[in-house]
Amino acid sequence: MAFRCQRDSYARKFTTTVVSCRPAELQTEGSNGKKEVLSGFQVVLEDTLLFPEGGGQPDDHGTINDIPVLKVTRRGEQADHFTQTPLEPGSQVLVQVDWERRFDHMQQHSGQHLITAVADHLFKLKTTSWELGRFRSVIELDSPSVTAEQVAAIEQSVNEKIRDRLPVNVQELSLDDPEVRGRGLPDDHAGPIRVVTIKGVDSNMCCGTHVSNLSDLQVIKMLGTEKGKKNKTNLIFLAGNRVLKWMGRSHGTEKALTALLKCGAEDHVEAVKKLQNSTKLLQKNNLSLLRDLAVHSAHRLRNSPDWGGVVLLHRKEGDSEFMNIIANEIGSEETLLFLTVGDEKGAGLFLLAGPPVAVETLGPRVAEVLEGKGAGKKGRFQGKAMKMSRRPEAQALLQDYISTQSTKE
């Protein structure tokens, strides 16, 4: 059977009866991005106002007797509602849908039907799949490329049809109806077939929730295309309230950039280009100065009265190239050179250079002390350190090694 949500997509609440309630688990993604398993119940109702995911459309959110429904999935002719509170079979319950989410899905799904039909009619671009995303929707077109001119023409045509206020009708047909034969159905399909028709534009089988008139879509905005799977192109779009929210975010960004760049919106791109060029020039000059400083530091270390044994240098500003220039300039295989750059109490980089046998032995141990990772060869070991605050421990390790070697000699 068709659920109440499919028979009347605009209904926001109704009363029905609990058929069954059984213990179940739901795998979900926690706030930290890790998978979590929730214990709860799968509730089956006599009918439901909450759409179970399917046909590229996510499930509805809502409540049963004010109990949050965390997931709705279809199982044959029934819909399973996952809750964390049990409900008594046979009891009357009030089902309410999250209307903002429902209407958003109606706008995106009907928008997809309209775009798919227009793309096919204008340019023979066939839709192979689609995704109703959280922030944007994607239609996969069976073409290796779609031009900007084609995208603009599709956008103009769909918005003309929205302004024409074309009706959208839903029919329920039996499996033996001539309109159904040969269209192909999911293996687990049960009950009548729903056919969604946009008057004079499109007629397709669909299980989702839809607007009753294209005027409810308000507007459709194409955000362009992206390369899809092999020989496919993804067409990105927004419909209805998503366009308004996108415009609000864009306007907010524009105002912020106007204040930061001290120029009008029409000059933002040029202003950013100038800043990028200035930044590149400064980075080039800084790199040149850093190289000069590395050479100077190498000569100063080499000529220091403390030269020999273990030679140390730490600098907050620097990179791997800075340390390698120093090591190259010094070029000694007789002394252990321990160089570090970065925040003294945070993370950074390190380099150990010197006699190959000593470096091969000590490099991994220094990395372990600094709680980092590294690799090396030919008398040089370098890597990342997570705890630069443990540099004195690494220094002591190196000093002990030198002392031990001197004793042996």
Q: What is the pLDDT along the chain (409 residues), one digit of tens a residue?
A: 689 999 999 999 999 999 999 999 999 887 777 889 999 999 999 999 999 988 889 999 999 999 999 999 999 889 999 999 999 999 999 999 999 999 999 999 999 999 999 999 999 999 999 999 999 999 999 999 999 999 999 999 999 999 999 999 999 887 766 666 555 555 555 567 889 999 999 999 998 999 999 999 999 999 999 999 999 999 999 999 999 999 999 999 999 999 999 999 999 999 999 999 999 999 899 888 888 988 888 888 878 776 777 888 898 888 898 999 888 888 766 788 999 999 988 999 999 999 998 999 999 999 999 999 999 888 899 999 999 999 999 999 998 988 887 776 6
Look at residue 29 in the predicted model and tell me its pLDDT: 82
Helix axes 391-408, 356-369, angle to 10 degrees: 150
Look at residue 178 in the predicted model and tell me its pLDDT: 67
Look at residue 34 in the predicted model and tell me its pLDDT: 83
Helix axes 99-123, 241-261, angle to 10 degrees: 90
Look at residue 390 in the predicted model and tell me its pLDDT: 93
Look at residue 33 in the predicted model and tell me its pLDDT: 76
Look at residue 104 in the predicted model and tell me its pLDDT: 98
* Rounded CA separation 271/8 (Å): 52
The β-bridge partners of 198 are: 168, 202
List the domain boundaries for the chain: 4-97, 103-249, 302-407
Look at residue 331 in the predicted model and tell me its pLDDT: 77
Closest to 216 (Cα-Cα) out of 51, 102, 48: 102
Superfamily of domain 103-249: Threonyl-trna Synthetase; Chain A, domain 2 (3.30.980.10)
The β-bridge partners of 138 are: 131, 236
Check: CB of residue 81 under 8 Å from CB of residue 50.
Answer: yes
Cβ within 8 Å of residue 361, ≥6 positions away: 401
Look at residue 188 in the predicted model and tell me its pLDDT: 56
Q: What is the pTM (predicted TM-score) of this model?
A: 0.75
* Rounded CA separation 100/244 (Å): 14
* Range 302-407 has CATH code 3.40.50.720: no
Closest to 135 (Cα-Cα) out of 99, 178, 92, 104: 104
Check: CB of residue 389 under 8 Å from CB of residue 345.
Answer: yes
* Rounded CA separation 246/55 (Å): 25
* Rounded CA separation 238/261 (Å): 29
Cβ within 8 Å of residue 382, ≥6 positions away: 320, 323, 324, 349, 350, 351, 352, 374, 375, 376
* Range 4-97 has CATH code 2.40.30.130: yes
